[in-house]
Structure 1
Amino acid sequence: MQSPLFAYTEVQDQSYYSLQNSYLLRVRLDGNTGPDCLARKGAMVAYQGMIEFDGEYQSPYQRRTRGHTGEGLDLMRCSGQGTVYLANLAQQIHVLDVDHEGLTVDSAYVLALDSGLHWEVIAVDSQFGLSGTGQYNLNISGSGKVALMTSGKPLMMPVTPDKYVSCDADAVVAWSTGLRVQMQAQTSSSSVFRRRGTTGEGWELNFVGQGYVLVQPSELMPPQNMQLGGLRGQYGMGPQGARGQNPGNIWSNR
């Protein structure tokens, strides 16, 4: 049998995480020496070897967290010896090494991560009491690898003390945890409840400090259209507001 399809064969690589192409991730597991892989549920497209898949346990506290914030990880644990191939809706995949700098990311963009990493849900801009606009995110820390997904090829933007970056809140994927973040709508107070005048723009995130911001060439639905706790919850006044259920605005997987 002959076909151009045979050009798309497995890429041999000894790395723990390796991209087979822009849309397919290969994870090499060795239960004796390496960590397990926590992958997005349903992301497995193929595997080789003796691999076990189990639903990752969520404590009642984690389930309450997700109910309050809409943020969290719905994961399966991949363990054993062999290789697992992961993908999700043909989105582009990118592998990052998380170290002392840490990573803050929207859970919707997480494809997989090392089981040894620690994550917690945080309120990005809790000092302003805003909620329901996507400002609850995951803070991932420790040492290990994370595979993120984007719609199209992203842009990695450096942030320095003398050069801050402002991004559309709907296009931001992730950023260095050490950056200072503020969420704002560049409108007058009377027009904060609608998109920015007639420009179609809405909430933006401002990043200050030293680090990086990852932006994708695609936007989610406008945050004003998200149904999280109604209008009161959307603007931080309901039980899902930044000061509603958890004054510290931090939830953890530990």
Structure 2
Amino acid sequence: MSKYSISQFIQSTKQKDLGQGFFELETERILEVNLNGLVWAKMGSMISYEGNIKFEREGILEHGLGRLLKKTFTGEGSQLMKANGNGKLYLADQGKKITIVDLAGDSIYINGNDLLAFEDGLHWDIKLMRRIAGVLSGGLFNVHLEGNGLVAFTSHYEPLTLMVYPGQPIYTDPNATVAWSGNLQPEFVTDIQLKTLVGRGSGESLQMKFSGNGFVVVQPYEEVYFSDKNS
């Protein structure tokens, strides 16, 4: 049999039940949700499903007026949908690599553009980066999640986790920062010399500074939702 036959193609690419539970990485870029109830997912991330599943946009006042105002300010990047029912749901986001974490009582901040899905029951809230609202346009929010449950987020290519220790801060490019531990609060600092070195169009003079004890996740890719107003 030819290694390029239809049957060989089907065998190598067909869906497989790996028995990993509620969230399962069908491939490194496709998330399978074994749904029996409700899951929150990024709007527009559904690529396929089977079974009896209903999709619903997040209600305008579903989580209170305060979060509505923040969602209005942050724009469409924070829009979520609910998938409710029984079946298999497949999620993806522009071919980005997917990472699953089990919070198990911990908390994490995830860039709003990189949050793919999370279990119902987790407490979550949109956090605005108010201090830089006058400097940057777009990408001004992240999502804080805490409790017990699974979270899936995305990154362009393989993510790198950097450990933050007391007295040893980590600096990152905001455009490449994906997530960080819930006990860290980033500061925004400007390095004029760096901007002079790399050119006015880069926006890399603005950095996120993480101090304390925790971790930061970065990706080898710079998103375009951050821009330096002074460039």
Q: Aligning the two structures, in what range does the TM-score lie when normalised by the shorter sequence?
A: 0.7 to 0.9
With normalisation by structure 1, the TM-score equals: 0.76
Match of 2:170 among 165, 170, 176: 165
- Mapped contact 2:107–2:181 kept (Cα < 8 A): yes
Q: Over residues 135-185 of structure 1, what are the superposed CA-to-partner deviations in whole Å (9 max), with x where a residue is unaligned?
A: 532211222111101111110111122432111111000100101321111
Number of residue equivalences:
214
CA distance in structure 1 between the partners assigned to 2:31 and 2:8 by the alignment: 23
Task: Tell me whether 1:96 sits opposite 2:101 in the alignment.
Answer: yes
In structure 1, the residue matched to 2:179 is: 174
3-state DSSP of counterpart to 1:224: coil
CA distance in structure 2 between the partners assigned to 1:62 and 1:222 by the alignment: 21
1:14 Cα deviation from its structure 2 partner = 4.2
Match of 1:30 among 26, 36, 39: 36
Task: Tell me whether 1:218 sits opposite 2:217 in the alignment.
Answer: no
Q: Over residues 18-39 of structure 1, what are the superposed CA-to-partner deviations in whole Å (9 max), with x where a residue is unaligned?
A: 10111100001123xxxx1111
Letter in 2 for 1:208: S
The gaps in structure 1 that reach 5 residues or longer are 189-194, 232-254
After superposition, where does 1:200-211 map in structure 2 within 5 Å? Answer: 200=202, 201-211=204-214
Q: Over residues 96-139 of structure 1, what are the superposed CA-to-partner deviations in whole Å (9 max), with x where a residue is unaligned?
A: 12243311111100111112122222244x5xx32153453221
Change (3 A) 1:209 1:151: same
Letter in 1 for 2:29: Y
In structure 1, the residue matched to 2:3 is: none
With normalisation by structure 2, the TM-score equals: 0.83
Return structure 1 stretches of 4+ with deviation > 3 angstroms.
60-63, 69-72, 222-226
Q: Over residues 168-206 of structure 1, what are the superposed CA-to-partner deviations in whole Å (9 max), with x where a residue is unaligned?
A: 111000100101321111127xxxxxx711314221111
What fraction of aligned residue pairs are identical, expressed as a percent? 28
Letter in 2 for 1:167: T
CA distance in structure 2 between the partners assigned to 1:174 and 1:52 by the alignment: 30
- Mapped contact 2:181–2:216 kept (Cα < 8 A): yes
RMSD of aligned C-alpha atoms? 2.3
Task: Tell me whether 1:198 sits opposite 2:201 in the alignment.
Answer: no
CA distance in structure 2 between the partners assigned to 1:29 and 1:223 by the alignment: 35
In structure 1, the residue matched to 2:132 is: 130
CA distance in structure 1 between the partners assigned to 2:74 and 2:94 by the alignment: 25
